[in-house]
Structure 1
């Protein structure tokens, strides 16, 4: 059984939640740049062409150095900074349920 405190800690930051939402829907290893692009788009409710490069770089840096390493403390998040990929595998049902509800409430993929 997964600790509820651990799940809430994992989901405590919006950027980390957005990354997990995207990883869950993709299934399989995803390049960090791709995760950063989607997270930046959701955070700004924009379209990729209108997102300033420096904002994208800040989001990517945050994911690489803070959010993905923190997420990888969960045994079902595999982050390989050397290869530049991240994957979510074998997510416990309790985490899936909470993540699904959080995504429905937060709706990062809504149209602006």
Structure 2
């Protein structure tokens, strides 16, 4: 089972007075579907209400790799039905958006302002950052231990050089972590981020 570097018992606080908290499991359930990620991404970047028809056409265009105006009415309706019957009610119940079925609109709730959404993995390798740092700590411990005891190849350089190596390794890792976390966060970039645990989208997921 792939780790996420996040304790699933932990709860995400949302800015809704007196309302429920969104758990990590509920958050990842919402993010497990690309259509729902597209909706969240759009709402984070929009200040007004979003029309479901427009949203459906955008998603259909993305899935079929077509221009917005090239989407057929049948494909748009297919996505519209899935959003209206499944995805939007699920997200409304979770409190991350307000779905007005009568008007055919959705809008963000204050919850989106407080939720930092990103997949905490080393991109392309699916390694949790927690495991990465644990491994790096072990390597640094071996290097500094060997340098202190002047064992084998570690005796070729002074201890100060190995300490400098450890500092640089930690600094580079921290900067990389910050960069990838920012790139994977919803709302960054022109399109919804794809998850390393991407699931095939389903009509009624």
Q: Please identify which structure carries the higher helix content.
A: 1
How many aligned residue pairs are there?
106
SS in 1 for 2:117: helix
Per the normalisation by structure 2, the TM-score is 0.46
Per the normalisation by structure 1, the TM-score is 0.80
How many angstroms apart in 1 are the aligned matches of 2:61 and 2:97?
22
Verify: 1:72 aligned to 2:160, yes or no: no
RMSD: 2.3
Please name the residue that 1:89 is paired with. Answer: 109
Gaps of 5+ in 2: 1-10, 13-22, 120-182, 196-205
**Max radius of gyration: which structure?**
2
Counterpart pick for 1:63 among 75, 83, 92: 83
Deviations 1:3-62 (A, max 9, x none): 111110111111111121112211221111111121112222210232221111100111
Q: Is the 8 A contact 1:18 1:42 kept in 2?
A: no
Gaps of 5+ in 1: 108-112
Structure 1 runs, 4 residues or longer, greater than 6 Å off:
none
